[in-house]
Structure 1
Amino acid sequence: MSTAPPPDAPAGIAAEPARVEEPPFRVPRDRADLHVFLQAALTLEHLTIPPYLTAMYTLRPGTNRPAFYAIRAVVLEEMLHMTLVANLLNAVGGTPLVARSRFVTGYPALLPYSRDKVPVALRHFGTDALDTFLSIERPEYVAEPPGHPSVAGDTGWTSIGQFYNTIRAGLVRLTAELGEAGLFNGDRRRQAGPEDFYNSGGEVFPVTGLASALTALRVITEQGEGVSHSVFDSDDLLFGEAREPAHYFRFNEIRRRRAYGPHDTPASGPTGPAIEVSWEDAYAIDPAAKVADYPPGSAVRRAAEHFNEAYARLLCLLERAYTRDPAALHAAVPAMLRLRELSVQLYRNPHPDPARRARGLHASATYEITEELLGRVRRSLR
C-alpha cells in the first residue's frame, strides 16, 4: 500500500484536503439565494484566519517583529471583512451563522473559488506558509459573473474576485427588482458600527442600502488585492487613513524581505528598504496535527483542548454580535488575546510523539470545533 500523499495534498500532509461547499455557479436569483451566497462569503473570509493566526503565533517571541505586525494587521482586517459581510447579510434579512461546526473548515482545505488546486493548511511561519498566503490573496484577472457571454463555457468559479463580482451583480439585480427598501429590510439594530469594532485599517460601518453594500464589497476586495493596478488599498480614499499595501503585497514584502516604496507597482515589485526576516525563528509544527495525536491527560493535550474551547468561545461571541448585540464585538478582543496566551503553551512544547519530535516539530493548535464543544461554550456564556 502506498503511503505517499494524494496528488492534491500539500507537502507533509497525508490527508485528502477538505473541500469548502460553494454556491451554485450563477448570479443570486432571489433573497434566499443571496443569503446563501453571503453566508458562503462569511465562511470564505473566516477560512484564512486560522492559517494566518498559526503563522503569527508560531513566531518565536521577540523575533520577526515586522512580520508579526504585518500578519496581525491582516488578521484584524479579515475580522473587519467578516463583520462587513455579516452587516450585509443582516441588511437583506439574513442571519449570519458562525458558531457552527460546519463553519470552521477542516484543514488542510482546498482554496475555494479557484481554478488552481491551492491547499490551505495550518503551517508555521516560513516560505511555505507565505507562498500559500500569496496564492489566497493574489490579484488576478477577474472573470465576469456567470451568465456573461465571456464565461459561457465555464461551469464553475474561477476566482474569489469573480465570486464577489457575482454577489455585487446579484445585489444590483435584486435592488432593481424589489426596490432598495424592499431588499434592504433587515433589522437595523443588528448593524455593527465603528463604535463596536476597532481595527487598524478601515472601519466597520452599517449597511443600509445599495451604496453602502457596494462600498462594503469594495473594502473587502481592495484591502485584499489592492486597487486595480496598484500595490495599495483604498483606505485613504474611503476612510481618510494612511495608504497601506493590500494583503497580497504585505505578504510579498515579507516573502521578498523588502518593503514597497510609494511609487512601486505590482510589476516593479518591492524596491524599498530591506525587511529583516528570520525563517528559522519559528516553532516548526505538523500541519496535519490533531488533538488525538497528544496523549490523553497530558499537559499538551489539555492545552490543545483549551485552545479549541477558547476559539469556540470567540465564534460564539461573534455570532452573538452578528445576530443580537453588536456591542458583543468588544469581547472579541480579549478573546483573541486569550488565544495567543494559550498558543504559547502549545508551540513551545516539543511534539510528544518521538518521531515527530526527532524531526524538530512542536505541539500546535488544531482548530477542531465540534457541535458538542460549541454547546458547552454556549452554556458557559449564558
Structure 2
Amino acid sequence: MKPFNDVFLRACRGEETPYVPVWYMRQAGRYQPEYRAIRKKYTFFEMSEIPEVCAEVTRLPVEQLGVDAAILFADIMTPLQHIGIDVEIKSGVGPVISNPIRSKRDVDLLGEIEPEKDVHTTLEAIRLLRQQLSVPLIGFAGAPFTLASYMIEGGPSKGYHMTKSMMHADPKTWRLLMEKLGKMTIDYLKAQVAAGAQALQVFDSWVGSVNAQDYQTFILPIMEEIVSELKKTGVPLIYFGIGTGHLLNEWNKLPVDVIGLDWRTSIDQARNMGITKTLQGNLDPSLLLASWEAIEKNTKQILDQGIKKPGYIFNLGHGIFPDVQVETLQKLTAYVHKYTQVQTVK
C-alpha cells in the first residue's frame, strides 16, 4: 500500500499543505463504466449493503482519478429505511417515499436507529476501506432539513412547499421531527467514526430554499446540537448545501471545520463576508462538459482565490453527473495538483 496521504485532513484543519487537495462529491457513480457494470447486478441499496461491493465502489475513483480523499458509497436515505421510512431510489428521479410524513402521528411512529444492528454492513465497509485506502475516508449523512424535505414531500421537490408549510403551521411537529432526525444523524455518524471514518460531511443540500430567519428559528438549533456532539469525535466536520450564500454567516458560527460552497458564491466572496473556516469547492459541475480551455480557465480562477491562505480544498459545487467523462476528471485532478504545487513553491 502507498504511504498514507493526509493532505486533505491537514487542509480541513487549516494547515499549510504542499498542494491543494481535491475530491469530488458523487465521485463514485454512473459516469464510470465500471460502476455501471456493477450497477447492472444490484439495486442501489444492495450495492451499499454488501460491504465488499461498497468498498470496491468507494475505492474505484480514488484509484482511477488520483483524488486525495474517498467518500463512503451510500445515500443520505440509507438510515431512513431503518426508522420506518419506505424509500426507493428510482433511476432518473431520486429517492421516492411511499409513506410521507404529514402529521404528528407519522412522526411519532418513527423509530430510532441502532447502527451496529441496522447499518452494520455500512460500518463493515468502512472497516474494510480503512485497510485498503491510502487516503482519508469521509463518512457522511443528510442534515435534518434535507432529509425532512424528502420525507414530507415524498420525493424530490422544487418548491418544498409542504415542508416549509409544516415548519410554520405546525412548529411542534416540526421540532419533534428535527429532534428525531438529529438524534439519528448523531448516532449514525458517530458509528461511522467508531468504524474508522476520518472526516464527516453533513449534506444539507436543499436548505438554501429557506431564508436566514427561518434557518435561525427552525433549523439552526438542531444543527448546533448535531455539530456540538460530532465535534466530540475529534474528526473534521464539513457542512455543505446548495444556494446557501445567504446562510454562510450562520454556518460560520457553528463549530464546523469546513464549509462547502456551491458555484454561486466565490471563495473570495465567502472570505470577504468574514468566513474563517476552511472552504471547499466550487467548480460548477456543468463546466465538466465544456472544452478543456474553459475548464482550465475557471478552475484557475477558483484556485487562485483558494490558495491565498491555508485552508482550502478543491471540489465541485455539486456532485458529478452521469454525462461527465472519466478522462476529464483525471485531467482536472492532475491540473489542480500540479498548478497549486507550483504556486505553493513560488
TM-score by length of 1: 0.26
Higher relative CO (Cα under 8 Å, sequence separation at least 6) belongs to 2
Greater strand share, 1 or 2? Answer: 2
TM-score by length of 2: 0.28
Larger radius of gyration: 1
